[in-house]
Structure 1
Amino acid sequence: MNTLDFTTLKVANYNRKSSEAEDRQVLSIGSQIEEARRIAEFYKLPPFTEVFQEAKSAKKEFERQEFSRMMQMIHSGEVNAIACWKLDRLARNMTEGGQLIDLLSSGVLKAVITHDKVYYPHDNVIVMAVEFSQGKQFVKDLSVNVKRGQTKKARMGVPHGVASLGFLNDKTEEKGNRRWLEDTLRLEAIRVLFKLFLTGTYSAGKLHRYATNELKLTTVKRKRIGGALITLSRIYEILKDPIYTGFFYYGGERYELDERLPRLITEDEHRKVLMLLSKRHIPRIQHHETTFAGFLQAADGNFIGQDVKYQLICDCKHKFAYRKKDQCPQCGVDIAGLDSPKYLNFTYYYNVKRKKAGQEYKSISEESVASELIKFVEENLTFSRDLSEWSKKYITELRDREINENVFWEQKHQSDMVEYEAKKSRLREMLRDQQITDLEYRADLVVLNERYASVDMKRKHVDWFARMNEIVDLTQCALDVLKKGSVQAKRNLLSKLGSNLTWDDKTLSISNSKAVNKLVEGMKRAREINQKFEPKNTFVNQSLNKKTDRFQPVFSTLLRG
């Protein structure tokens, strides 16, 4: 029989609300405190020595500061009883649960008081142990069930949680079977952002300004949050998210996105986006707009910086940097009052690491870089209009030939599939009729699978047609853009060519994308075949439907290159 005098106890009230998703449905902390007051009134407890509150999970031991503080007060004798809503508020792991059982069994704790039961030192500790273990098992079972449900959704092609920007959660279906829907307006805006970023001329910051100022892209309005213009950090999340490519990861495994949802970019483009976002390729913030910043690099891989000089020669012949100045520093005459000022603008590119280290370095002027590029384009990437039109005609013929080949291979693929399935069916019939043993069936099936291993492999489609036509178009305008175009037009041209310029303090090396490099190599081989061959001077006077013997080997070399 219990003779404990509750009025003499030093009681601490402990309240906990878990931060874990599977444990959020328990009483709120406010409700637990109200329940503790009811318990105190019912048992006529003295005022609580301390009220502990925290929002932490109890699954793992030694991760709750308030619980640890309460345990210290128990060991020091400041507290000898605990009032709480339920035992699982105190612990959901056997380590901390075992500590409480030991304290109660040894009499350090006089009582643990809950809303429906009081635990005394002389009680059977098995009851408390079972309740603590049930709490632990409940968490484990719930975790397994949640993961199973999320894996099922992943196999359906739907990531769990809130849909990525550009998609919406379908709330018309029951929980567990909800799919994603298209958010058409936002999805099209994100498609535009990817297209701009892939040009290589937009940094994430510039893309963010475009998204907010031009597209007015906002997040989805929800009950308490959302509806605001997209942030810069969200731009980075969108660019890195593979969901717009058509796949996602869950539990370390890759899953394909629901095929009913659109793909904004290809996997190759996704890898290019990640490459552009990597530290080595992130566009640097510039205070001056320069033509070749980001396209130039040092031979040793170091960053090439730019030094922009704005200078003025005064009437007194003194030369000085005039920005943020109103007067000549030598004669004191106002710049606005000069009779014949001469303005100069120079841009030099240099090896940043060498300059910072105090090492010897040589710079190259923007005019010199432009001159080298113009020379390169004149020699390798300038076609006459007739040659350009002939090239497009021949490219179209190659595409048509490829289409015919694809039709043939598709028909062969279908035929092989029918033959493969028929032989598999025949093997199953022979096994069923006991004409062959199970061992023979498995051996024959292995041989059959090896023989038709390539049947399921589809021919990879490469959209070379659009790229080749784009390159041919560039041969018509590249020279004019380099000579007369704006800074942005020149940068766009270099991006389309995939240009990489390397400065080694002596010479400037020019390389471009693989397709453009192949064209340049083809030009060199064409000249070896016909030394007088020059693209800008070459005309195709005969019908575009005819390829003369004179030009056939040259053009074949160009397009094959």
Structure 2
Amino acid sequence: MYISTEEKLKGASADIYRRKSQEDKSRQILSLETQNDICDEIAKYWNVTIGENYSESKSAKTFGQRPQFEAMMQRIENGTTEVIVCWKIDRLVRNMREGGWVIDLLQYGKLKAIVTKDKVYLPEDNTIITAIEMASATEYSRELGKKVQDGNTKKVKKGIPNAFAIMGYLNNKHKLQGERDWRDDPERWKFMQQALRKILDDKISPSQAYKWLKEEVKLKMPIRKISGGKLIAKSSFYRFLRRPEVAGFFYYKGDKIYINDCITPMITEDEYWRIQKRLGEKGNSKVTKNISTYSNFIKSPEGYFCTPDLVERVTCDCKKRFSIRHKTKCYHCGLDIIEMKNPKFYTRRYYYNSYLKRNKIKTKGVPENDLDIIVLKIADHIEMDSKLAQWSQQFINDIADQELNSWQEKSQRDKYIIDRFTKKKSRIKEAFIDGIFSKEEYQQEIQKIDAEIALNSRSTKYSNDWKDFLCSLIHFGSELKMVWKTNDVTHKRNALKTLRSNFIWDEKNLSFYGPKWLNYLINGLNSFKSKGNQFEPKNHLVNKGDFGKFQDVCPNLRTMWQSIRTTYLQEKDSENPELVKIILP
């Protein structure tokens, strides 16, 4: 006898199950309210008796993470309830382990039905179809997670942070999803930068900077869907100080990513780490990465490293200057630093002999400014104008072309010789088979031929990495100046590595030791510039590939580039290349 679904469910005990998605809070609340209204209508339509109404904010992707779901399933196991009412099947299960649990109860009749807005699942239904629909929910969850992860990775590759914009910036909602970057907040950016500058330049405390923003500027948080519009909170300001985005970079899975040109950094990276040092290590382990520009690049004549030390002083209203390290008041008049009307702050970094300092022996530090002067002098000496750069590029290209032609000719010649000896080897083998040669004579001839073939098979694979290196030196001087102008510590240290810099500080004099190629470059360019940057003879034309015509054109430059090339080839595989003292005119 056929019994309709309405009759089967009439008066059955049922539990409502609602689950909210992992979205922003306003959408989660709306989702729960909507589900509750729909489930009530479903229960009235099928005339079931509601027992419990379960609701939770948990992800369904992982088994065992939903206590409300497990409590409802236990009621079904005990026979307390017979029907589950939910909005959609994906609200109930999104992993196959819990899906199998539900299907088992449904198949064995402990669960009479799962009632949703779109469909009623009954024990007599094909369990394969039910499993497929549950698996679809599981697969959707997996695909959604993968898409979100892929989207985040793509944004990171473009230099876009995956987060709400910090104070001073706004999320750019005018672009397509996946392309939404940040933009400067026209209302708050200037005030947040001023607060950072006050901490860095005026040497006021972060707490005082926050007080200035709240009481004088009366800065309010940006309005979001369910928050914002209130005066900036102290915790929000301190979180802002910890965020590296203010210096134009962020971290993703441990990697350092620089933000694209969508925003204007408020401070430099070096200044960011200075603020982190002042804040201390609490709550952020990355603050220990504060590295000075010349750390590990300065030694004493005995080989001891010179370590940096930041000297911070202030001139009080009473005209007395004193160090502000571990001090809050003027030692002379007792005036508190924060109460000074016109304090003048002085900051300079010195590098001291670590051995002498550690053993409490009097030592004199070298100012970082003196080191900068030497580097910028080197940049001046190796900087090339456009004509000189063009000539050098053409000369290097001609050397490379001539070398390639020579290598190709030698390779063809070696191939011809190898082919000739291979054929000879075949003829001798045939002669041995015909009995013309004895075994001993045959072996001797074969050994001679194999030796000749091995001798002509030594041709190495062609490589012109020296060309890339020489070309990089053409604009290295101007690039060096630009790096020191931007004041980025990481880029400065990379440039010093290229120079293989080694400063020597003997407590009196500062010397600079560098690679041989740098010495050749400085001397060659100085010799050329001393002649008024004139090419000899004037307007001399050189055909590409005619290397010999360079002989009488700028002989000093020609010798310079040849010497640099030779030095590079000799030292490129050396772990400890020879350094020479660089004398700057």
Category of TM-score, reference length = shorter chain:
0.5 to 0.7
CA distance in 1, matches of 2:123, 2:155: 48
The residue number in structure 2 matching 1:165 is 167
The residue number in structure 2 matching 1:30 is 33
The residue number in structure 2 matching 1:14 is 17
CA distance in 2, matches of 1:419, 1:24: 66
Change (3 A) 1:253 1:418: farther
Q: How does 1:403-552 map to 2 (within 5 A)?
A: 404-405=380-381, 407-408=383-384, 443-444=461-462, 447-449=463-465, 452-453=468-469, 456=472, 458=476, 460-461=480-481, 521-522=507-508
Change (3 A) 1:396 1:275: closer
Residue deviations 1:494-550 (CA, integer Å, cap 9, x gap): xxxxxxxxxxxxxxxxxxxxxxxx9994499xxxxxxxxxxxxxxxxxxxxxxxxxx
The residue number in structure 1 matching 2:96 is 94
Q: 1:192 aligns with which of 194, 219, 222?
A: 194
Q: How does 1:312-461 map to 2 (within 5 A)?
A: 401=377, 404-405=380-381, 407-408=383-384, 443-444=461-462, 447-449=463-465, 452-453=468-469, 456=472, 458=476, 460-461=480-481
- SS of 1:452's equivalent? helix
Offset at 1:62?
Answer: 1.4
Query: 1:6 corresponds to which letter in structure 2?
Result: L
CA distance in 1, matches of 2:126, 2:405: 66
The residue number in structure 2 matching 1:314 is none
Offset at 1:399?
Answer: 9.2
CA distance in 2, matches of 1:253, 1:404: 35
CA distance in 2, matches of 1:462, 1:156: 24
Change (3 A) 1:260 1:88: closer
- SS of 1:13's equivalent? strand
Q: Is the 8 A contact 1:399 1:465 kept in 2?
A: no
Offset at 1:156?
Answer: 2.4
TM-score using structure 1 length: 0.55
Q: 2:180 aligns with which of 164, 178, 181?
A: 178
Change (3 A) 1:133 1:96: same
Larger mean Cα displacement after TM superposition, 22-31 or 94-103: 22-31
Change (3 A) 1:202 1:85: same
Query: 1:295 corresponds to which letter in structure 2?
Result: R
Change (3 A) 1:5 1:178: closer
Change (3 A) 1:211 1:421: farther
Larger mean Cα displacement after TM superposition, 74-83 or 271-280: 271-280
CA distance in 2, matches of 1:415, 1:75: 87
Q: Is the 8 A contact 2:182 2:262 kept in 1?
A: no
Q: Extract unaligned runs of 5+ from structure 1.
A: 283-290, 297-303, 309-343, 348-379, 382-391, 468-517, 525-559
Larger mean Cα displacement after TM superposition, 50-59 or 31-40: 31-40
Cα RMSD (Å): 5.2
Q: Extract unaligned runs of 5+ from structure 2.
A: 289-320, 337-363, 416-457, 488-503, 511-583
CA distance in 2, matches of 1:409, 1:460: 14
Q: Is the 8 A contact 1:20 1:57 kept in 2?
A: no
Residue deviations 1:401-450 (CA, integer Å, cap 9, x gap): 5563252399887777677788999999999xxx999xx99943xx3236
Query: 1:50 corresponds to which letter in structure 2?
Result: E
Offset at 1:464?
Answer: 8.5
TM-score using structure 2 length: 0.53
CA distance in 1, matches of 2:224, 2:15: 40
The share of aligned pairs that are identical, in percent, is: 28
Q: 1:259 aligns with which of 258, 261, 272?
A: 261
The residue number in structure 2 matching 1:137 is 139
Offset at 1:138?
Answer: 0.8
Count of residue pairs the alignment pairs up: 377
Residue deviations 1:91-144 (CA, integer Å, cap 9, x gap): 101111111111111221111112222222222211121111111111221222
CA distance in 1, matches of 2:177, 2:63: 32
CA distance in 2, matches of 1:197, 1:227: 25
- SS of 2:146's equivalent? helix
Query: 1:408 corresponds to which letter in structure 2?
Result: M
Q: How does 1:161-240 map to 2 (within 5 A)?
A: 161-199=163-201, 201-240=203-242
- SS of 1:49's equivalent? strand
Query: 1:241 corresponds to which letter in structure 2?
Result: R
Larger mean Cα displacement after TM superposition, 5-14 or 16-25: 16-25
